[in-house]
Structure 1
Amino acid sequence: MTASGLIDTRRAMLAVRGPDARTFLQGILTNDVGRLGPETPVYAALLSPQGKVLFDMILAWWNDAVLLDAEADRLPDLARRLALYRLRAKAEIGEMPEIAVGLLWGADAGAIAEAAGRENPDLRVLPDPRLPDLGYRLYGARADVEAALAAAEPATAEDWTRHRLALGVPEAPDDIRADETFWLEANAALLNGVDFRKGCYVGQEVTARMHHKTVLRKRLVPLSFDGGTPEPGTALMAGEKEAGTVTSALDGRGIGLVRLDRWEDAETVTADGLTAHMVAPGWLAPALTGSAA
């Protein structure tokens, strides 16, 4: 069997329902909520007016509600922030602790996901909207998610971290830091997290300016290390100059927020004495040339 799965207790679900749910979210989130459908999830973020990420999330359509798959520890904060923007919109916001989040990936994940969705209509089985190789996300009652994942090898949170680091995909809170990381620095344009043609949303002006008028100076990029693994928070040094910071790392792989100009000018970049290498997976490689947003 070449599929792995787990219930991700680090994630939890918030529901937005009511006649204005979609239009309300459309006016504040970075992506086009109009694309959301029963089989089509959407990756998006709620930004500060300065264009920095406050919350990133995966949206799924669930019966009469829009589900927001977000950080479990910050779900009450997300609910409060959405309530501030709701104003007179006819939309109700509430947590859904009865819905579990399952992760499924690997060569056989597609077949398992298809079978699970076919056998249980109460289970929502969706491709990860950021990158196909990430696999699938399963939403439903915990017993239903567990039953679907029984066809895969049990995995741990560290296994998932290894998987996403191998693909170079950043996640909150490790890499995408609340009110610190600009959405485009988190590769949102390459991971289907922003629509530049939709109408206004919070932080849209800064995000659009970064996309159209500037070259990104910093970006979250995949890293590998020779001979060990530095701790998250370790500075990336290009000689005497700081070239970035390691944001997450495990088993010799990692992600870092990198000053691209300093990295390009350096013969060697180190992290706590370990030589660091920038890795360019296929989805990211074109953007690293010239660092287009």
Structure 2
Amino acid sequence: MTNDVQQLNGGEGQEVIYSMFLNKQGRVLYDVMCYQWSKDPEGDTQSYLLECDSAISQELHKHLKLYRIRKKVDITSLDSEYHVWSIFSPGPTPPPSPGSKSGPSHFFTDPRVKGLGQRVIVPQGSQVPGIEEVNEEDYMMHRYQWGVAEGVNELPTGDCLPLESNLALMNGVSFTKGCYLGQELTARTHHTGVIRKRVMPIQLAGNAIPTIPAGTSIKTAEGKNVGKFRCHLHHNGLALLRTALIGNKLKVTTEDGAEADLEARRPSWWPQETHK
């Protein structure tokens, strides 16, 4: 796990962190949220809740058991007990403050990007009070406009590098904690390397909405490969591209063999030095 759970045990009131699990080659297996779930008054027993893509819940469960070092650590699936909501726009009434409880619901500020919204953990069968429900596509569009990838469809297992996936920019890695699987490449890249490619928001040109397979090469007008297409919903999506090409006109081949124009955009939350 790339981040340090000790942040959840300090006195600063932090209750959730973003993190990733990597393979031994330093590539992304799974992205997760880690919540401080419960802590006894004596501090001897603590519980953490991991939120992950539901498609890989069982894989992550096996992964955790495989690398369990302390025999006293219990790992239990709560898939059938809770579900997660994201609050990213005002409902009919203001949502409860982050970190608060409203009945059985637990509210947390999304730790990835300031302003991205809140995460709400709710028991199965319960509703989130004070919000207006929208569909999942609205949430996807919200993330794409912010330039935030999530889950194995947008961060393909074993294919992505964590720093190119903006892990450090989204507060998801500690460079001072102890060793973890995949640490060596991640730390070396951070301390000595330059991140020339990043996942970023893109917009497709034209009125038609093309179908573009994930992993399709993105090219310059001269035909040079400069990145990979990740996903899109209507005209907005995400791609892994060289940061130097932000604002340039680029091309991608659609499923039917036609060419579509696209342009990458620099997210407002990126530090200025990432735009090189």
AA matched with 2:87: L
Pairing of 1:223-242 with structure 2 (within 5 A): 223-227=202-206, 228-230=208-210, 231-233=212-214, 234-238=216-220, 239-242=222-225
Counterpart in the other structure of 2:269? 283
Q: Which runs of 4+ in 1 moved over 6 A?
A: none
Are 2:52 and 1:66 equivalent residues in the alignment? no
Q: How many residues align?
A: 256
Contact 1:237 1:270 in 2 (8 A): yes
Counterpart in the other structure of 2:131? 152
Are 2:21 and 1:46 equivalent residues in the alignment? yes
Contact 1:187 1:220 in 2 (8 A): yes
Pairing of 1:121-270 with structure 2 (within 5 A): 122-144=104-126, 146-148=127-129, 151-227=130-206, 228-230=208-210, 231-233=212-214, 234-238=216-220, 239-260=222-243, 263=245, 268-270=249-251
Q: What is the SS of the residue equivalent to 2:86?
A: strand
1:77-127 CA distances to partner (integer Å, 9 max, x unpaired)?
11111111113442011101201111111145993133994542x321101
Counterpart in the other structure of 1:20? none
Q: What is the SS of the residue equivalent to 1:34?
A: helix
Pairing of 1:87-98 with structure 2 (within 5 A): 87-96=69-78, 97-98=80-81
1:161-209 CA distances to partner (integer Å, 9 max, x unpaired)?
0110111111122221111101101000101111112222111111011
Question: Which consecutive residues of structure 2, in runs of 5 or more, have no partner in the other structure?
Answer: 39-45, 254-258
Question: Which consecutive residues of structure 1, in runs of 5 or more, have no partner in the other structure?
Answer: 1-28
AA matched with 1:85: Y
Contact 1:113 1:136 in 2 (8 A): no
Q: Distance in 1 between matches of 2:101 and 2:121?
A: 14
Contact 2:90 2:131 in 1 (8 A): no
AA matched with 1:47: L
Instruction: Give the direction of change, closer, same or farther, for the CA distance of 1:255–1:285 in structure 2 (3 Å limit).
Output: farther
TM-score normalized by the length of structure 1? 0.80
TM-align CA RMSD: 2.4
AA matched with 1:271: V
Q: Distance in 2 between matches of 1:109 and 1:215?
A: 45
Q: Distance in 2 between matches of 1:103 and 1:137?
A: 5
Q: Distance in 2 between matches of 1:109 and 1:129?
A: 24
Q: What is the SS of the residue equivalent to 2:95?
A: helix
State the Cα distance separating 1:214 from its structure 2 match.
1.1
Q: Distance in 1 between matches of 2:98 and 2:163?
A: 36
Instruction: Give the direction of change, closer, same or farther, for the CA distance of 1:243–1:98 in structure 2 (3 Å limit).
Output: same
AA matched with 1:134: L
AA matched with 1:53: V
State the Cα distance separating 1:54 from its structure 2 match.
0.8
Q: Which has the higher contact order (CA 8 A, sep 6+)?
A: 1
Contact 1:219 1:260 in 2 (8 A): yes
State the Cα distance separating 1:267 from its structure 2 match.
6.0
TM-score normalized by the length of structure 2? 0.84
Q: Distance in 1 between matches of 2:93 and 2:17?
A: 19
1:128-187 CA distances to partner (integer Å, 9 max, x unpaired)?
11013221111131233x142xx2222111111011011111112222111110110100
Contact 1:229 1:249 in 2 (8 A): no
Q: 2:4 aligns with which of 32, 46, 57?
A: 32
Q: Distance in 1 between matches of 2:264 and 2:155?
A: 18
Counterpart in the other structure of 1:102? 85
